Structure 1
Amino acid sequence: MRLYENLSKRAAWSYRIAVLSVLVFGGAFVWHRFFGLTTPLALKIMGAAIAGAIIAVFVAIAGLVAIWNNGDRGAERAAAALFLAALVLAVPLWSLPALLTLPRIYEVTSDPGAPPAFDRVARIRQGQANPIRYDAAFAPLQAQAYPDLKPLVVQRPLIDVYTSVRDVVKTLNWKILEEQAPEATKAGHIEAVDKTLLFGFVEDIAIRVTGNAKSARVDIRSSSRFGQHDLGRNAERVRRFMTEVKNRLAALERLERMERVVAARQAEEKEKAKPQSKPANRRRDAN
């Protein structure tokens, strides 16, 4: 009976709270990632679990102090509570540097003055989703934090660039919602959706390709459907997309250069293989 009397209540409660926090956080994660729990509700549940983990940490520390001073039992439970709480707090702690150093924006674009428009996405974003209209206040914040996000201008025919862009979208496994190939009076336009690797948060993407038979320009807009801080994810997505497009166009240029070299060599070989023309008849000796 004395064993139960000397068990630290703070240690016991910290363990209970930590276990509950892990179960709630893990349940919300699985439910959102695989079974369609809405992102706003998932964020609220995870937020509650994180708050519980923080409480568990403070209660566990208080329990360890009491155990040290009074000699009560329960140090193992308090230590286990700290470990379980650390599992829940790992995600927000990992995101903390980005949260503190990067601007509080949820979308970026290569053309803040006239970002690619959302059409199909506009019919999807409902309820608590972020607005589809680009917030002009994001432009100076983006320029300061991500000065490298610029339009891609290349000296290639418009249709070639659009084809390469579409291939890159497929390579990156983005789900295409709507697309419009470039026409005489219309720019090429693609709307797609990507999901974050771990939590499956939805990010909407709009791509615009303009130009003519000699040159083309590529603009992109990447926007988090929910949440007010993207932690830099959209900027990384734009960088990856632009890099892939540049690499694909460079590969296409190398292939065309090789084809020209091969064609020139074949033409040269054909020229050499032609039979030599017969020499002109010599004039007869004069009598």
Structure 2
Amino acid sequence: MHRRLVFEEPVSRAAVWSRRLAWFAFAVLLLSLLLVRLREPSIEGLAPVAGAYVLVLAALGLAILAFIRIWHSGHRGAGMAAGALLLSLLLLAPAGFIVLRLVTRPALADVSTDIDDPPAFSRSQAALTARSGRVPPDVPALQRRLQRQAYPKAVPILLELPAEAAFDLARRAALGLGWQVLETARPGGRSGAGRVEAVARGRILHFSEDIAIRIRPRVDGSRIDIRSASRLGSHDLGANAARVAAFTDEIELLMESR
């Protein structure tokens, strides 16, 4: 009885290491995101995330190299290379979304429904403590005009309600969105305006935006203006405009339920 010898092609080392590196990059990325959430948010604190994405790109490159070598040499490991390629692309998807936002959104970090007279931020001790002593700076008029072009729906909210009722509505909307309300001031006094000061935090990285809401009486009702400003960087990737839109939608929902 003769035994038939079967010679199998060796497994591509590039495929093996691409899979290992892809899973290692996945673990490093999760750990780095956890560290960012636990620490005080900062641009420097994103360095571990950037390092994790270097590993992701290396895994992607190895997977592509593995496919090339498998094609030329006939080595095994196509499945491993395909898995590494898919995992790398999935990990790169959020980074690709961020790059898309950088390209398609203006470089703004402060959005207001009133570009001529944005709501001012409180300088009380409680507000300054919550903002770590930071007061969002004024935005040049040119940037405010860029905001109007990029986010034409970020406009004042006009209500056929007294300022007192509009104030209660604005406060409920802020709380309903999960924002931390720092302080409030009812309409009245010399200016006649009411105010709600709040802080909103991102769901993933917990980056903070400072919120100032102003309620002014009008002859036929009231006007609500909101301003949302990021604490880090000069580009918010559209986050502040999204918060303004979410606040407007919440006001509309509350009005419908009255």
The answer to whether the 8 A contact 1:40-1:226 is kept is yes
Query: What is the letter of the counterpart of residue 30 of structure 2?
Result: G
Write out per-residue CA displacement over residues 22-49 of structure 1, whole angstroms, 9 at most, x where no aligned residue.
111111222333x335343442221221
Report the counterpart of residue 222 of structure 1 in structure 2.
228
Deviation at 1:108, TM superposition (A): 0.9
Q: Residue type matched to 1:154 in 2?
A: L
Q: Show CA shifts across 1:152-200 (max 9, x none).
A: 2333221111111111112222111122222221421111112223333
AA at the equivalent of 1:65: I
Residue 119 of structure 1 and its aligned partner are, at CA, apart by 2.6
Q: What secondary structure, in the 3-state scheme, does the structure 2 residue paired with 1:189 have? A: strand
**Structure 2 CA distance, aligned partners of 1:240 and 1:160?**
20
Aligned counterpart, 1:242:
248
Task: Kindly indicate whether the alpha-carbon contact (under 8 Å) linking 2:201 and 2:207 is maintained by their aligned counterparts in 1.
Answer: yes
Decide whether the 8 Å contact of 2:170 with 2:196 is kept in 1: no
For residues 13 and 108 of structure 1, the distance between their equivalents in structure 2, rounded to whole angstroms, comes to 46
CA change 1:154–1:38 in 2 (3 A) is closer
Distance 1:213 1:185, change over 3 A: farther
Q: Secondary structure at the match of 1:185?
A: coil
Query: SS in structure 1 opposite 2:169?
Result: helix
2:200, 2:160 → 1: CA distance? 29
TM-score, normalised to structure 1, is 0.74
Consecutive unaligned residues of structure 1, counting only runs of 5 or more, are 253-287
Partners of 2:41 and 2:206 within 8 A in 1: no
Q: How many residues align?
A: 246
User: Which residue number corresponds to residue 3 of structure 2?
Assistant: none
User: Which residue is equivalent to 1:144?
Assistant: 149
Listed as ranges, the matches of 1:1-287 within 5 Å are 6-33=10-37, 35-36=38-39, 38-119=41-122, 122-125=128-131, 132-136=136-140, 137-186=142-191, 187-211=193-217, 215-249=221-255, 251-252=257-258
In 1, distance between residues paired with 2:236 and 2:143? 12
Output one character per residue of 1:242-279: Cα deviation in whole Å (capped at 9) or x when no partner: 23224434554xxxxxxxxxxxxxxxxxxxxxxxxxxx
CA contact (8 A) 2:156 2:224 kept: yes
What is residue 260 of structure 1 aligned with on the other side?
Answer: none
> Structure 2 vs 1, CA of residues 61 and 250 (structure 1 numbering), >3 Å: closer, same or farther?
closer
What is the CA deviation profile of residues 190-222 of structure 1, one whole-angstrom value per residue up to 9, with x for unaligned ones?
111122233333222111112268532211011
Deviation, 1:98, is: 2.9
Mark the CA change 1:89 to 1:237 in structure 2 (over 3 Å): closer, same or farther: same
Q: CA deviation at 1:57?
A: 0.9
Equivalent position amino acid for 2:150 in 1: A
For structure 2, which runs of at least 5 residues remain unmatched after alignment? 1-6
Indicate the percent of aligned positions where both proteins have the same amino acid.
34
1:110 CA displacement: 0.5
Q: CA RMSD for the aligned pairs? A: 2.8
User: C-alpha separation between the residues in 2 aligned to 1:53 and 1:134?
Assistant: 39
